[in-house]
């Protein structure tokens, strides 16, 4: 039977993203009366976009210490939170609701259905099961805390108000504002006395000076080596997937180096050099290309090259090297062959900058971690206020680490509120 709305709720959760839904479901499981307020007309709008619609739920690092090395300085704060509800408990939580995962590169776990909707629906089912009252289209405009009574008053933009003993803020960060993450939470939390570290975008696609990139938008190289240069100084090399967009490049490896690129751009030019055949050294690639050209000596170079790299990219490579794409391979000049092999191992991309907040995957910045009790996710400034998910100032790479933060902080807050 549906619980009647109380005059004062035990818990009000603001924000129906993954962190808010997890927190509300857990508080409901403990028998609390819970009201979940979400300004969109549906819950989990950003969650639906995760992992390209497939949702990289977490990363298969069940050892807490190993997992926490990925959160840089924040790792030391998160120990008690992840000990209470880490990767293993998250996998178990979903398994208990019939969700199993498959593992992809670098430990990324995706639902076996390859659909973010499976995860969204599982959370919504858990909310219903725990009789959480859900109000969508509910835009919160302020949180007031009465020091004497300890009660919270939550004001909505339509003038309505609700009261609660505890309040969990799960309003997200500033990335992809069209999904609802517009940062209002930060202004209320600042009014309540919290320090907000200014937003700096953390996982962001890169823009290139190379305008030809527009012609190959959507092309993906599943495995290449990406070497980052500041001026002519090598900074970092990583292997992984790269995706060409209409203004530059994206993909997990690019997103993970974006904050470093941002720093380096302050000091000068930044170049990415792609090795499209990282498995082969120069000599091995040279001989396999020689063989390919020989076997297909009457075919046009554009068709032969398209056998080893995506066709659109093959055409760009020939254009950049000023090789006529219609040339039969037997007529290819020796110097062009040498250049071609060199280019496939050293393909330069000239970085212009980072895309803005609207295209970021996550934003770093948020509530200062020294103001949170990580055993409960409670505020050290306002009693019975809890903060979860992207509102916290935690930098992390791509790979399921952001959603794991939502599951861990959400569950622990829901266990304590």
List of residues contacting ligand FAD (CB under 6 A): 14-20, 37-40, 45-47, 49-51, 55-56, 138-140, 170-172, 175-176, 180-181, 184-185, 361-362, 389-390, 400-403, 406
Which residue from 123, 406, 359 is spatially nearest to 247, judged by alpha carbons? 359
Q: How far is CA 11 from CA 2, 31, 204, 274, 311, in A?
A: 16, 11, 35, 51, 56
Alpha-carbon distance of 205 to 355, in angstroms, equals 6
Nearer to ligand FAD, 254 or 316 (CB): 254
Alpha-carbon distance of 355 to 362, in angstroms, equals 12
Nearer to ligand FAD, 180 or 240 (CB): 180
Nearer to ligand FAD, 177 or 328 (CB): 177
Per the DSSP assignment, residues forming a β-bridge with 153 are 144, 163
Alpha-carbon distance of 390 to 386, in angstroms, equals 13
Alpha-carbon distance of 107 to 59, in angstroms, equals 5
Nearer to ligand FAD, 17 or 28 (CB): 17
Nearer to ligand FAD, 26 or 345 (CB): 26
CB atoms within 10 A of CB 4: 7
Alpha-carbon distance of 276 to 271, in angstroms, equals 16
Alpha-carbon distance of 156 to 38, in angstroms, equals 11
Nearer to ligand FAD, 47 or 226 (CB): 47
Residues in the chain: 417
Minimum gap (Å) between residue 255 Cβ and ligand FAD: 9
Nearer to ligand FAD, 184 or 210 (CB): 184
Minimum gap (Å) between residue 71 Cβ and ligand FAD: 12
Minimum gap (Å) between residue 352 Cβ and ligand FAD: 22
CB atoms within 10 A of CB 102: 11
Nearer to ligand FAD, 68 or 316 (CB): 68
Minimum gap (Å) between residue 374 Cβ and ligand FAD: 16
Minimum gap (Å) between residue 139 Cβ and ligand FAD: 5
Nearer to ligand FAD, 329 or 409 (CB): 409
Nearer to ligand FAD, 355 or 381 (CB): 355
Minimum gap (Å) between residue 186 Cβ and ligand FAD: 10
Minimum gap (Å) between residue 163 Cβ and ligand FAD: 17
Cβ-contact 167, 360 below 8 angstroms: no
Minimum gap (Å) between residue 145 Cβ and ligand FAD: 17
At residue 285's C-alpha, the angle toward residues 280 and 290, to 5°, is 160
Q: What phi, psi does 111 have (nearest 5°)?
A: -65, 150
Cβ-contact 111, 100 below 8 angstroms: yes
Q: Give 276-283's long-range contacts (Cβ < 8 A, gap of 24+).
A: 276/221, 276/224, 276/309, 276/344, 276/345, 276/347, 277/344, 277/345, 278/223, 278/224, 278/225, 278/239, 282/341, 282/342, 282/345
Minimum gap (Å) between residue 208 Cβ and ligand FAD: 20
Minimum gap (Å) between residue 267 Cβ and ligand FAD: 29
Per the DSSP assignment, residues forming a β-bridge with 167 are 12, 385
């Amino acid at each position: 039977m549906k619980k009647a709305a109380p005059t004062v709720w035990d818990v009000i959760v603001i924000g129906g993203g993954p962190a808010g839904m997890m927190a509300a479901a857990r508080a409901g499981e403990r028998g609390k009366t819970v009201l979940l307020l979400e300004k969109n007309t549906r819950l989990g709008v950003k969650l639906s976009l995760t992992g390209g619609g497939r949702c990289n739920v977490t990363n298969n690092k069940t050892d807490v210490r190993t997992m926490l090395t990925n959160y840089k300085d924040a790792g030391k704060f998160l120990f008690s939170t992840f000990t209470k509800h880490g990767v293993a408990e998250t996998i178990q939580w979903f398994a208990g609701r019939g969700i199993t995962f498959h593992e992809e590169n670098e430990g990324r776990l995706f639902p076996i259905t390859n659909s973010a909707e499976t995860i969204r629906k599982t959370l919504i089912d858990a909310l219903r099961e725990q009789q959480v009252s859900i109000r969508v289209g509910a835009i919160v405009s302020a949180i007031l805390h009465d020091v004497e009574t300890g009660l919270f008053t939550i004001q909505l933009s339509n003038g309505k108000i609700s009261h609660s003993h505890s309040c969990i803020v799960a309003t997200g960060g500033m990335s992809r504002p069209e999904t609802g993450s517009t940062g209002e939470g930060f202004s209320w939390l600042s009014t309540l006395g919290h320090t907000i570290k200014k937003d700096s975008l953390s996982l962001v696609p890169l823009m290139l000076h190379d305008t030809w990139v527009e012609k190959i938008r959507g092309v993906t190289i599943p495995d290449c080596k990406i070497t980052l240069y500041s001026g002519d100084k090598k900074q970092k090399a990583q292997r992984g997937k790269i995706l060409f967009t209409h203004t530059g490049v994206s993909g997990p490896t690019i997103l993970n180096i974006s904050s470093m690129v941002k720093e380096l751009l302050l000091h000068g030019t930044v170049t990415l050099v792609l090795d499209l055949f990282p498995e082969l050294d120069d000599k091995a690639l040279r001989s396999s290309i020689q063989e390919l050209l020989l076997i297909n000596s009457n075919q046009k170079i554009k068709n032969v090259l398209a056998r080893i790299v995506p066709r659109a990219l093959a055409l760009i490579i020939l254009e950049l090297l000023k090789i006529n794409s219609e040339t039969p391979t037997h007529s290819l000049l020796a110097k062009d062959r040498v250049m071609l092999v060199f280019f496939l191992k050293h393909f330069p991309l000239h970085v212009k900058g980072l895309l803005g907040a609207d295209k970021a995957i996550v934003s770093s910045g948020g509530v200062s971690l020294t103001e949170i009790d990580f055993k409960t996710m409670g505020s050290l400034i306002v009693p019975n206020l809890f903060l979860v998910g992207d509102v916290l100032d935690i930098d992390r790479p791509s790979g399921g680490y952001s959603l794991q933060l939502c599951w861990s902080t959400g569950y622990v807050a829901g266990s304590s509120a």
